[in-house]
Amino acid sequence: MSVRQGLLAVLELGPNYGYQLRAEFESRTGGTWPLNIGQVYTTLDRLERDGLARRGDETPEGQVLYEITNAGRAEADAWLSRPVVRERAGRDELAIKLALAVTLPGVDVPALIQAQRTATLGALQDLTRLKMADERDLAWELVLESMIFQLEAEARWLDHTEARLARIRDGRDPRPAAPPAAASVPAEREATR
Amino acid sequence: MSDAPLLKLDGVSVQYGSGPTAVTALSGVDLEVRRGELVAVMGSSGSGKSTLLTVAGGLVRPTSGEVVVDGQWLSTLRPGQLATLRRRHLGFVFQDYNLVPALTAIENVALPLELDGWKASRARRAARDALSTVELAEQAHRFPDDLSGGQQQRVAIARAVVGGRSLILADEPTGALDSTTGEVVLRMLRGRVDHGAAGILVTHDARHAAWADRIVFLRDGRIVDESAYRGVETMAGSRA
């Protein structure tokens, strides 16, 4: 998601000046995505350039109120109704670290997994404490729960990886994967390329 | 949190069978749990999680090592004394609730007290108080079949803490519940611990283990790691 679409969605509620828009955005996302004001004004300039927002009246204090255009409203609605497609899947540092670790000699992969799981669970405990002391702020709780479920998924993936490596170590893997090193590509497959 | 542990496992090992077919379920486990503390136990299937709970609850005697509950060494107790200690100090919470279907919620909660010789009226009062702590006073006269899974598990938690019982041993208590209901149950369990009980929560679910103060990992019957709540800044940002 870009900040642009989020700010546009907030502008649907009515005209806002920059600081007001930032405050609305942050309160509606549980304060988990702090924006700097320069970023907000740069985004508003671009929305104006693209015909999605325009400058309206000024407040008595001289702050320019930005309002959404019909095109902007259409773009915001389209964004809200469109599923999020996660691009660049797999660029996860942990996944890449483990993928490399299993190919490198001398790396204690079980210890690496255990250390990561301890860290992941520590982070889960921290977030769960925040949830226990919740202030019944729905936006905040939703973002918090999203983080909690992502960490849970990471912990489950670590469990799965640990179990899979143990099966391979013990010769119990029902579907052994080919060794990852390039030198292990079978000769006949290499010949067909 | 008081200094003396309510539960102490000191070098506990459990071996099933003997000779070449012997299976070591626990090996040299040290663990202390104090009042106000919830400890989660995690590990893969067969890691010894459930054995740890049954040893802590005096249902299985360790092959070696010692279990101490509220200052009493379990190895020194005769079977009758051990049963009394279990009734007075320990409460079990299981995945499948284990309520008596022919008894109402309040009768289920009062049951361990009545078995311990309490007068029925006094046991009922204590049971009603315990049900109130899990916000189920209004369902006191319903039978388990008339309660949802989450409500039944809350009755089980009330039964685990009724009459001053203070050590809750929970084995996958949210295993049969959906995500939201499971969380209500964990909140209740956490609440009882925060009010002076102590608990062990066996779970394979990291999200549920995170409700604990400490998380210990078992592998092949040994504690291999421990994660404690740090109470520091979090990835959730400045809101904390």
Indicate if A102 and A156 belong to the same structural domain.
Answer: yes
Indicate if A30 and A77 belong to the same structural domain.
Answer: yes
| Ramachandran bin of B177, using left for φ above 0, alpha for ψ from -120 to 50, beta for the remaining angles | beta
The closest of B8, B7, B53, B61 to B201, measured between CA atoms, is B53
Domain assignment of residue A193, yes or no: no
β-pair type (B72-73, B90-94): unpaired
Where along chain B do its domains lie?
A: 37-61+78-229
Indicate if A164 and A109 belong to the same structural domain.
Answer: yes
Residue A89's pLDDT band (cuts 50, 70, 90): low
The residues that bridge with B39 in the sheet, in sequence order, are B200, B214
Residue A180's pLDDT band (cuts 50, 70, 90): low
- ipTM exceeds 0.85: no
More confident residue, A57 or A29: A57
Q: Which sign, positive or negative, has the C-alpha torsion A11, A16, A21, A27?
A: negative
Q: Which domain holds residue A151?
A: 93-175
With beta carbons under 8 A apart, name residues in chain A contacting B231: 126, 129
Nearest by CB to A114, from B225, B228, B237: name it. B225
3-class secondary structure, A137: coil
What's the CATH code, domain B37-61+78-229? 3.40.50.300
With beta carbons under 8 A apart, name residues in chain B contacting A127: 210, 234-236
Indicate if A65 and A112 belong to the same structural domain.
Answer: no
> Is the pLDDT confidence value at A68 over 90?
yes
Domain assignment of residue A97, yes or no: yes
Phi, psi of A115 (to 5 degrees): -60, -40
Give the pLDDT of residue B236.
47
B205 touches chain A (CB under 8 A): yes
Spatial separation of the C-alpha atoms in residues A55 and B164, rounded to whole Å: 67
> Is the pLDDT confidence value at A134 over 60?
no
User: Which of A138-152, A177-191, B151-165 has the least mean pLDDT?
Assistant: A177-191
Domain assignment of residue A183, yes or no: no
- Among chain B residues, the shortest Cα distance to A157 is held by B206
Q: Are B53 and B29 in contact (CB under 8 A)?
A: no
- Asked if A152's CB is within 8 angstroms of B230's CB, the reply is no
Indicate if A103 and A141 belong to the same structural domain.
Answer: yes
More confident residue, A179 or B124: B124
With beta carbons under 8 A apart, name residues in chain B contacting A31: 237-239
- Asked if B210's CB is within 8 angstroms of A148's CB, the reply is yes
Spatial separation of the C-alpha atoms in residues B221 and B62, rounded to whole Å: 13
Domain assignment of residue A69, yes or no: yes
Q: Which residues of A touch B (CB under 8 A)?
A: 30-32, 34, 114, 117-118, 120-130, 132, 140, 143-144, 147-149, 151-152, 155-156, 159, 162-163
> Is the pLDDT confidence value at A118 over 60?
yes
Indicate if A65 and A98 belong to the same structural domain.
Answer: no
The closest of A66, A61, A62, A59 to A43, measured between CA atoms, is A66
- Among chain B residues, the shortest Cα distance to A160 is held by B44
CATH number at residue A47: 1.10.10.10
How close A175 comes to chain B (CA, Å)? 21
The closest of B159, B173, B54 to B115, measured between CA atoms, is B159
Q: Which whole number is the average pLDDT over A99-107?
A: 89
Tokens, residue B69:
């509950």
3-class secondary structure, A68: strand
With beta carbons under 8 A apart, name residues in chain B contacting A155: 206-207
Domain assignment of residue A186, yes or no: no
Indicate if A61 and A102 belong to the same structural domain.
Answer: no
Give the pLDDT of residue B235.
44
The residues that bridge with B215 in the sheet, in sequence order, are B40, B227
Indicate if A20 and A62 belong to the same structural domain.
Answer: yes
- Asked if B205's CB is within 8 angstroms of A34's CB, the reply is no
CA atoms within 13 A on the CB side of A75: 18
User: Which of A59-68, A164-173, B209-218 has the least mean pLDDT?
Assistant: A164-173
Q: Which whole number is the average pLDDT over A58-82?
A: 92
Q: Count other C-beta atoms under 10 Å from residue B114's C-beta.
A: 15
Tokens, residue A36:
């700097």
Domain assignment of residue A191, yes or no: no
Residue A137's pLDDT band (cuts 50, 70, 90): confident
3-class secondary structure, A53: strand
Q: What are B144-157's pLDDT values in tens digits?
A: 999 999 999 999 99
Domain assignment of residue A86, yes or no: no
With beta carbons under 8 A apart, name residues in chain A contacting B234: 123, 126-127, 130
Domain assignment of residue A9, yes or no: yes
> Is the pLDDT confidence value at A188 over 60?
no
Q: Count other C-beta atoms under 10 Å from residue A17's C-beta.
A: 19
Torsion angle (degrees, nearest 10) of CA B68, B70, B74, B78: 170
β-pair type (B64-69, B7-16): antiparallel
- Among chain A residues, the shortest Cα distance to B188 is held by A132
How close B2 comes to chain A (CA, Å)? 21
Domains identified in chain A, total number? 2
Q: What is the pLDDT along chain B (240 residues), one digit of tens a residue?
A: 457 899 999 999 999 988 888 899 999 999 999 999 999 999 888 889 999 999 999 999 999 999 999 999 999 999 999 999 998 899 999 888 899 999 999 999 999 999 989 999 999 999 999 999 888 999 999 999 999 999 999 999 999 989 888 899 999 988 888 888 888 888 888 988 998 899 999 998 999 999 999 999 998 899 988 877 665 444 444 443
Q: Are B155 and B134 in contact (CB under 8 A)?
A: yes
With beta carbons under 8 A apart, name residues in chain B contacting A126: 229-232, 234-236, 240
Spatial separation of the C-alpha atoms in residues B26 and B48, rounded to whole Å: 6
> Is the pLDDT confidence value at A130 over 90?
no
With beta carbons under 8 A apart, name residues in chain A contacting B205: 152
Indicate if A26 and A76 belong to the same structural domain.
Answer: yes
Q: What are B46-86's pLDDT values in tens digits?
A: 889 999 999 999 999 999 999 999 999 999 999 999 999 99
CA R_g for chain B: 18
The last residue of one of the domains, among A59, A81, A103, is A81
